C-alpha cells in the first residue's frame, strides 16, 4: 500500500478511485445521496443506531497503520466544542444517535452512508466525529473508529467521571489550593463556575448552585452512572452536576440549557427559560420530582432527597371560639379545656414569616431599612407562638430536624393588584444557628447547631412591589468546610463569580438559605467549627442577604 503524503492528496486519490478503497464512489456521487425527508423518517431509518451503521457496509475495518488513525486528528478544534446544549441534530432536530463534529462543533444524526454526519464530512471536509452517548470517536466518510490518548480530554469534558478518591478531595477542600485552568489558561475553582443566563433563568441557576453544594446530594450525583431507563430529568441533572464540578473544563463556565429544557418539558411549561419565576417554587418542584425519579416513596429516607432534607413538624390546631369576657384587643389563644388536634407532617423546607414593614414613614424613616433578628422570626416554631388563619389557631414545633435544613423567608405576598415585597433585612449568623428551642427533646448525641452553606438573595428596584423586569437573583456559596483561613465565600450571579467578604453576606434580601448540622457541635461547646457532612440550605426572598451575628473567629454561638 502506497503511503500518501498530504491530506489533500489522499482525498483526491480517494475521489478518483485510487488508493485503499478503489471501489468507493466519487465525492460528487456522494453529494447527490438522497437525504431523509424529515426527522421522523430519520428516526425510523436504519441509521438510527450505531449497530445499524456498522452493518450497512459503509465502515472500514480498524486501521492497520499510523496514517489512517492520525490523519485528521490535527483538524480538531477544541475551542469550537460545546457539549452543554441539548443533543439534537442540527438538520433533522432528532435526538437519536447523535454525533458531534469535532471540527466545527455542530451536531448531526447517524454516521451511515445516508446520514447527515456522513454528508457533512463530505460537503465541509470535516472528518472527525464523536458519539455523544458512547464518547467513541470516528472518522467519516471512512467510518473507522479512532482510539487515541490525545482524545481523552474531549471525552472527559463530554462525560466527566468521578471516583471515590476525587470525591474525597472535593470534600476535604483540596481544590481550593490548586485551581483548574480552561483552554484560555483562565483559572477557576471546580464547583464555582458561572451558569449561563440564557434568557431569564437566573432564578433556577441559584437553586442549582445551592443544591449542588450539599455534599450528600452532590456526591450521589457525581458517582452516578445513569445510562439505562432512568428518567431524563435525573440523567440531565446528574450530567449538569458533573460539568459544574469538572476540573478539566474547556471553558470556565457551564450552560444549563440541556437540563432546563427537560425542566420545561417535565413541568408542562411552568418553568421556562424566557420567563422570570420564583426560585422557591422551582426548588419545591425540583426536590419532589427528583425524589420521585430516584424511586422514592412516602416512607422516610426512601431517597437521598428525603435522607438529606426531610424533617418532621408537629402542628396543633384548634378552632377559634370568641369568649364573651374577652377584651377588645385581646388575641385569641389556645383553650386547654377544649380539644386540640395534633398532626405530624413531613417538610423539605421551613417557611419563615417576616414582620410587615411600617406603613407610615417620614422622610428620614424612608431611608431606614427595617431589620429583624433570625431568632425572632424562627419563634414561629417554638411551640408557643400562636397563629390565626381561616378561623383556626395553629402552633408549630419541629419533631425531627434534617441533616440539611432549608429556610424560606417569605418576602412576597400577592393581592388582587400587585405582588408586594417585604424589604426587611434578616440578621443571621453564618455559623452556629441553634435550633434547640424549636425541637421537642432533641437526641443527646445529635447537634442542633446549623452552619450556612448557601444563601440566595433577590435584588430589584427600591420599593414595596415586586418588579420582575428588573429582578436579579444571586447566591452566596461557601467554599471549604472548615472555618478560618480555609473558608471562602463566593458570590455567583449568572456568569459572574467573585470572592466576597463574609461580612457582606447578610446585606441582601435573603429568600432561601441552605444550612448543615455540624456533628462536632454539642450544647454549650465553644470549639472551632469543622463542617464536612451535615449542612443547612436557606433561601432568601428580597435583594438583601440576611445575617445572624457573624463571629469574627468562627466560633459557634453559645446557646442561652
CA distance 293 to 309: 16
Q: Are residues 249 and 396 in the same domain?
A: no
Q: Is residue 229 part of a domain?
A: yes
pLDDT value at residue 416? 73
C-alpha neighbours within 13 Å on the C-beta side of residue 393: 18
pLDDT value at residue 68? 52
pLDDT value at residue 367? 59
Q: Are residues 219 and 303 in the same domain?
A: no
Grid cell at residue 406: 432549608
CA 186 centroid distance within chain: 23
Nearest to 163 by CA among 224, 84, 116, 120: 224
Write out the H or E segment, with its range, that includes residue 262.
helix 257-266
Domain boundary among the residues 106, 138, 156 is at: 156
Q: Is residue 364 part of a domain?
A: no
Q: Are residues 114 and 126 in the same domain?
A: yes
Contacts of 213 (CB under 8 A, 6+ apart): 191, 453, 454, 477, 478, 514
Q: Are residues 380 and 498 in the same domain?
A: yes
pLDDT value at residue 363? 55
Q: Are residues 169 and 281 in the same domain?
A: yes
Nearest to 545 by CA among 501, 498, 513: 513
Q: Are residues 108 and 182 in the same domain?
A: no
Q: Are residues 143 and 170 in the same domain?
A: no
Q: Are residues 133 and 101 in the same domain?
A: yes
Q: Is residue 252 part of a domain?
A: yes
Domain boundary among the residues 116, 137, 156 is at: 156
Q: Are residues 511 and 423 in the same domain?
A: yes
Q: Are residues 205 and 286 in the same domain?
A: yes
Q: CATH number, domain at 101? A: 3.30.40.10
Q: CATH number, domain at 403? A: 3.90.70.10
Longest dimension (CA), the chain: 110
Domain boundary among the residues 129, 156, 183 is at: 156
CA distance 393 to 330: 14
Nearest to 320 by CA among 330, 337, 332: 332
Contacts of 383 (CB under 8 A, 6+ apart): 314, 395, 396, 397, 438, 440
Q: Is residue 554 part of a domain?
A: no
pLDDT value at residue 162? 93
Q: Are residues 376 and 506 in the same domain?
A: yes
CB distance 456 to 539 below 8 Å: yes
CB distance 527 to 520 below 8 Å: yes
Q: Is residue 32 part of a domain?
A: no
Q: Is residue 316 part of a domain?
A: yes
User: Which DSSP symbol is given to 290?
Assistant: H
Q: Are residues 213 and 93 in the same domain?
A: no
CA distance 470 to 421: 13
Backbone dihedral region for residue 432 (phi beyond 0: left; psi -120 to 50: alpha; all else: beta): left
Write out the H or E segment, with its range, that includes residue 30.
helix 27-31
Q: Is residue 28 part of a domain?
A: no
pLDDT in tens, 465-478: 666 677 889 999 99
Domain span at residue 476 reads 297-322+334-356+369-534
pLDDT in tens, 332-368: 777 777 888 999 999 999 999 988 877 766 555 555 7
Low-confidence ranges of the chain (pLDDT < 70): 1-70, 323-330, 360-367, 443, 461-468, 481-486, 518-560
pLDDT value at residue 60? 43
How many independent structural domains does the chain possess?
Answer: 3
Query: Around Cβ 184, how many Cβ atoms within 10 Å?
Result: 9
Amino acid at each position: 500500500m502506497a503511503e500518501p503524503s498530504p491530506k489533500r492528496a489522499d482525498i483526491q486519490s480517494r475521489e478518483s478511485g485510487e488508493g485503499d478503497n478503489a471501489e468507493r464512489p466519487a465525492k460528487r456521487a456522494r453529494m447527490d445521496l438522497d437525504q431523509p425527508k424529515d426527522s421522523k423518517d430519520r428516526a425510523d431509518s436504519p441509521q438510527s443506531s450505531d449497530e445499524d451503521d456498522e452493518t450497512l457496509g459503509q465502515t472500514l475495518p480498524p486501521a492497520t497503520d499510523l496514517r489512517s488513525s492520525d490523519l485528521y486528528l490535527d483538524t480538531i478544534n477544541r475551542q469550537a466544542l460545546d457539549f452543554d446544549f441539548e443533543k439534537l441534530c442540527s438538520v433533522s432536530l432528532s435526538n437519536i444517535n447523535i454525533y458531534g463534529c469535532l471540527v466545527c462543533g455542530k451536531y448531526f444524526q447517524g454516521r451511515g452512508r445516508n446520514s447527515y454526519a456522513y454528508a457533512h464530512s463530505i460537503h465541509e471536509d470535516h472528518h472527525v466525529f464523536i458519539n455523544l452517548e458512547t464518547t467513541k470517536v470516528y472518522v467519516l466518510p471512512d467510518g473507522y473508529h479512532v482510539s487515541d490518548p490525545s482524545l481523552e480530554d474531549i471525552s472527559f469534558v463530554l462525560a466527566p467521571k468521578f471516583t471515590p478518591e476525587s470525591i474525597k478531595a472535593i470534600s476535604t477542600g483540596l481544590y481550593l489550593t490548586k485551581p483548574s485552568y480552561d483552554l484560555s489558561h483562565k483559572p477557576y475553582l471546580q464547583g464555582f463556575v458561572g451558569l449561563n443566563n440564557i434568557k431569564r433563568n437566573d432564578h433556577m441557576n441559584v437553586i442549582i448552585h445551592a443544591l449542588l453544594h450539599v455534599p450528600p446530594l452532590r456526591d450521589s450525583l457525581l458517582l452516578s452512572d445513569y445510562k439505562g431507563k432512568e428518567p431524563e430529568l435525573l440523567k440531565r441533572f446528574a450530567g449538569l452536576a458533573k460539568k459544574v464540578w469538572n476540573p478539566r473544563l474547556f471553558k470556565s463556565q457551564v450552560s444549563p440549557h440541556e437540563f432546563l429544557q427537560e425542566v420545561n418539558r417535565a413541568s408542562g411549561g411552568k418553568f421556562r427559560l424566557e420567563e422570570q419565576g420564583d426560585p422557591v417554587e422551582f426548588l419545591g418542584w425540583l426536590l419532589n420530582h427528583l425524589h420521585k425519579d430516584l424511586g422514592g416513596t412516602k416512607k422516610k429516607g426512601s431517597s437521598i432527597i428525603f435522607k438529606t432534607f426531610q424533617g418532621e413538624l408537629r402542628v396543633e390546631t384548634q378552632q377559634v371560639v370568641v369568649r364573651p369576657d374577652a377584651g377588645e384587643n385581646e388575641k385569641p389563644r389556645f383553650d386547654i379545656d377544649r380539644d386540640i388536634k395534633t398532626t405530624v407532617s413531613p417538610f423539605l423546607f421551613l417557611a419563615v414569616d417576616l414582620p410587615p414593614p411600617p406603613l407610615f414613614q417620614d422622610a428620614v424613616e424612608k431611608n431606614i431599612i427595617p431589620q429583624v433578628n433570625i431568632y425572632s422570626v424562627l419563634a414561629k416554631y417554638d411551640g408557643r407562638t400562636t397563629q390565626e388563619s381561616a378561623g383556626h389557631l395553629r402552633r408549630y414545633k419541629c419533631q425531627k430536624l434534617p441533616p440539611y435544613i432549608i429556610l424560606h423567608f417569605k418576602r412576597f405576598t400577592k393581592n388582587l393588584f400587585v405582588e408586594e415585597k417585604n424589604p426587611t433585612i434578616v440578621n443571621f449568623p453564618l455559623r452556629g444557628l441553634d435550633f434547640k428551642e424549636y425541637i421537642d427533646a432533641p437526641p443527646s448525641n445529635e447537634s442542633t447547631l446549623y452552619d450556612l452553606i448557601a444563601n440566595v438573595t433577590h435584588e430589584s428596584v427600591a420599593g414595596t412591589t415586586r418588579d420582575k423586569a428588573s429582578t436579579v437573583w444571586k447566591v452566596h456559596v461557601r467554599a471549604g468546610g472548615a472555618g478560618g483561613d480555609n473558608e471562602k465565600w463566593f458570590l455567583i450571579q449568572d456568569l459572574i463569580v467573585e470572592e466576597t467578604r463574609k461580612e457582606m453576606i447578610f446585606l441582601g434580601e435573603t429568600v432561601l438559605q441552605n444550612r448543615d448540622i455540624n456533628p462536632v457541635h454539642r450544647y454549650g461547646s465553644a470549639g472551632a467549627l469543622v463542617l464536612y457532612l451535615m449542612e443547612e440550605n436557606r433561601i432568601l426572598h428580597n435583594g438583601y442577604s440576611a445575617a445572624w451575628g457573624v463571629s469574627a473567629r468562627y466560633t459557634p454561638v453559645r446557646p442561652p
